[in-house]
């Protein structure tokens, strides 16, 4: 393992371009960030760490050295200089300890320390794992890019087993996933656009290998939280043993050549947003009371999938959204604005999927379409595909299949101008199931029940 940060002379743009050209199995990637040996390797200044320690002691009260290590996710050898400095400044004092060394000392604030801690808390109330430098986060994000992820028809099909997908459509999706570029999925409603997009996300989450995200990073004096337990799913990894496992945590924080505890190993994330998306959600969210930031959704999606469902129905107009992302889509990086007005550069390194049932020509212009490499049309299913979907839903609901029911639907509706929808199968059969349950009769599919269900569901659209 190697520690990488701003001290390494690495061209991040060059690294991103290199990733875009390479074809590797990212399940074997990335190399884990290693535990820093010094404050400099941790990418923190003495004053920054002093403030974090003071805030921690202010809120948590007296703490053991090992408890401070666990809270800040830093080894004691990194905290030691800061603790000694604060002790020399009469901001903290040692009130006890065991024989195993300073890591077992009890640290508490003095009156002077409490005053300084309150001032530090007013400036920023963030308490938790110490942030990593922005440069470290950027480099790690490019090392675990979605570009070139290992994907074959056999591995991809596992995530599509619950769907009926024509071969030509399935073979079009695969190269889009491999490329790691953006995908535009469009077509009439009810034919599985969202289901296919989420199946891609399932593949990425299940077969794309694991990646590392930091709890937070710091830039220009501000702290930006990244890890979100509501989005990020922990990978099966001993490094993810939580802080309540004292023995495992102590081993990680006291030993060398271990994974930096400020990073969390997760499965490739899948972030889904719909009509609620607006421009404010695409920039840093600043907590004016706590004085630190939360990363926007597309940053939390780095290394995974960002699905924009029902594109064109957001609170923000498609034109404004596309103008916001037209350069990030091409350059693979984005700019976020701090409260000071300063902009920071972050990776835009995810597979973005736009899903819409509106006409693409009414949503985007040629300049934007050119930047979306893959356009996948999902149209109304042919009869043989509709039949497979119908039978699959019959099996799911424990019903008998009924070719006569399908004949009725085509004779009564689909051959008379109504376009069949893949979702009709699910919706109609669930209505049939509800009718049978209400009447306390066995759930058995008949043309009569389908006609009754269709009369409730489809007739209004004639």
Asked if 310 and 355 sit in the same domain, the reply is yes
pLDDT of residue 216: 97
Asked if 73 and 171 sit in the same domain, the reply is no
Residue 37 and residue 79 in contact, taking contact as beta carbons nearer than 8 Å = no
Q: Report the DSSP pairing between strands 216-219 and 222-225.
A: antiparallel
**1 within a domain of the structure (yes/no):** no
Asked if 194 and 258 sit in the same domain, the reply is yes
Distance CA 112, CA 110 (A): 5
284: tokens are 């840093």
**104 within a domain of the structure (yes/no):** yes
Any residues with CB less than 8 A from the CB of 245 and at least 6 apart, and which?
none
**273 within a domain of the structure (yes/no):** yes
Asked if 287 and 146 sit in the same domain, the reply is yes
pLDDT of residue 313: 79
What are the beta bridge partners of residue 212? 265
Boundary-marking domain end, from 354, 377, 400: 377
Domain extent at residue 407: 383-461
What domain count does the chain have? 3
Asked if 66 and 164 sit in the same domain, the reply is no
**2 within a domain of the structure (yes/no):** no
**28 within a domain of the structure (yes/no):** no
Any residues with CB less than 8 A from the CB of 308 and at least 6 apart, and which?
273, 274, 277, 314, 352, 353, 354, 355
pLDDT of residue 148: 64
Global pTM? 0.81
255: tokens are 């030993």
Asked if 387 and 325 sit in the same domain, the reply is no
Q: Which mean pLDDT values do the consecutive 10-residue runs of the chain (462 residues) have? A: 36 41 44 90 95 96 92 93 95 78 86 96 95 95 83 88 86 85 86 86 84 95 94 74 54 70 92 84 89 94 90 79 82 90 92 84 75 84 93 92 93 91 93 93 90 82 45
Asked if 206 and 296 sit in the same domain, the reply is yes
Boundary-marking domain end, from 323, 350, 377: 377
Asked if 198 and 170 sit in the same domain, the reply is yes
Residue 270 and residue 14 in contact, taking contact as beta carbons nearer than 8 Å = no
CATH number of the domain where residue 389 is located: 1.10.8
Q: Which burial class, exposed, middle or buried, applies to 100 when counting CB atoms under 10 A from its CB (0-12, 13-18, 19+)?
A: exposed
Asked if 192 and 214 sit in the same domain, the reply is yes
Asked if 311 and 421 sit in the same domain, the reply is no
**32 within a domain of the structure (yes/no):** no
Asked if 120 and 163 sit in the same domain, the reply is no
DSSP per residue, 89-107: TTSEEEEE--TT-GGG-EE
pLDDT of residue 316: 78
Boundary-marking domain end, from 362, 377, 392: 377
CATH number of the domain where residue 59 is located: 1.10.10.10
**29 within a domain of the structure (yes/no):** no
The kind and range of the H/E element at 236 are: none
Any residues with CB less than 8 A from the CB of 344 and at least 6 apart, and which?
134, 219, 220, 335, 336, 338
Distance CA 264, CA 205 (A): 15
Any residues with CB less than 8 A from the CB of 218 and at least 6 apart, and which?
43, 44, 48, 131, 132, 133, 134, 224
Distance CA 207, CA 258 (A): 25
Q: Which burial class, exposed, middle or buried, applies to 154 when counting CB atoms under 10 A from its CB (0-12, 13-18, 19+)?
A: exposed
| Cα–Cα nearest to 393, from 426, 415, 355 | 426
CATH number of the domain where residue 344 is located: 3.40.50.300
Measured CA distances, 399 to 177, 257, 259, 357, 443 (Å): 35, 58, 52, 31, 7
What are the beta bridge partners of residue 94? 107
Asked if 213 and 74 sit in the same domain, the reply is no
Give just the sign of the alpha carbon dihedral 223, 229, 230, 231: positive
**38 within a domain of the structure (yes/no):** no
């Amino acid at each position: 393992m190697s520690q990488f940060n701003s001290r390494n002379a690495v061209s991040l743009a060059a690294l991103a371009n290199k990733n875009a050209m390479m074809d590797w199995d990212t399940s074997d990637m990335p190399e884990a960030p290693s535990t820093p040996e010094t404050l400099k390797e941790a990418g923190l200044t003495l004053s920054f760490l002093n403030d974090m320690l003071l805030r921690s002691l202010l809120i948590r009260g007296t703490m053991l050295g090992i408890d401070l290590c666990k809270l800040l996710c830093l080894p004691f050898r990194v905290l030691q200089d800061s603790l000694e400095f604060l002790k020399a400044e009469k901001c903290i004092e040692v009130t006890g300890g065991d024989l195993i060394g300073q890591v077992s000392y009890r640290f508490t604030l003095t009156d002077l320390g409490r005053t300084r801690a309150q001032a530090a808390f007013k400036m920023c109330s963030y308490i938790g794992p110490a942030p990593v430098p922005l440069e470290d986060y950027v480099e790690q994000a490019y090392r675990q890019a979605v570009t070139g992820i290992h994907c074959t028809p056999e591995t991809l099909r596992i995530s599509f087993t619950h769907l009926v997908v024509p071969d030509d459509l399935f073979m079009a999706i695969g190269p889009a996933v491999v490329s790691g570029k953006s995908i535009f999925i469009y077509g009439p409603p009810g034919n599985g656009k969202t289901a296919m997009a989420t199946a891609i996300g399932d593949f990425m989450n299940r077969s794309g290998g694991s990646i590392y995200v930091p709890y937070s990073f710091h830039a220009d004096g501000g702290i930006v939280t990244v890890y979100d337990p509501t989005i990020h799913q922990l990978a099966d990894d001993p490094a993810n043993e939580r802080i309540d496992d004292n023995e495992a945590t102590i081993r990680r924080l006291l030993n060398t050549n271990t994974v930096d505890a400020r990073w969390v190993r997760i499965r490739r994330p899948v972030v889904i947003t719909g009509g609620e998306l607006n421009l404010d959600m695409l920039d840093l969210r600043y907590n004016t009371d706590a004085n630190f930031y939360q990363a926007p959704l597309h940053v939390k999606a780095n290394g995974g999938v960002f699905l924009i469902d029902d594109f064109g129905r957001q609170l923000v107009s498609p034109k404004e959204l596309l103008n916001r992302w037209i350069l990030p889509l091409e350059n693979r990086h984005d700019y976020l604005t701090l409260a000071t007005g300063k902009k920071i550069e972050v990776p835009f390194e995810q597979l973005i999927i736009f899903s819409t049932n509106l006409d693409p020509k009414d949503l985007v212009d040629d300049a934007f379409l050119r930047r979306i490499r893959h356009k996948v049309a999902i149209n109304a299913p042919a009869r043989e595909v509709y039949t497979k979907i119908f039978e699959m839903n019959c099996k799911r609901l424990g019903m008998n299949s009924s070719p006569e029911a399908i004949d009725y639907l085509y004779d009564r509706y689909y051959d008379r101008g109504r376009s069949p929808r893949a979702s009709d199968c699910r919706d109609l059969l669930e209505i049939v199931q509800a009718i049978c349950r209400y009447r306390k009769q066995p759930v058995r599919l008949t043309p009569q029940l389908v006609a009754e269900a269709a009369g409730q569901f489809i007739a209004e659209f004639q």
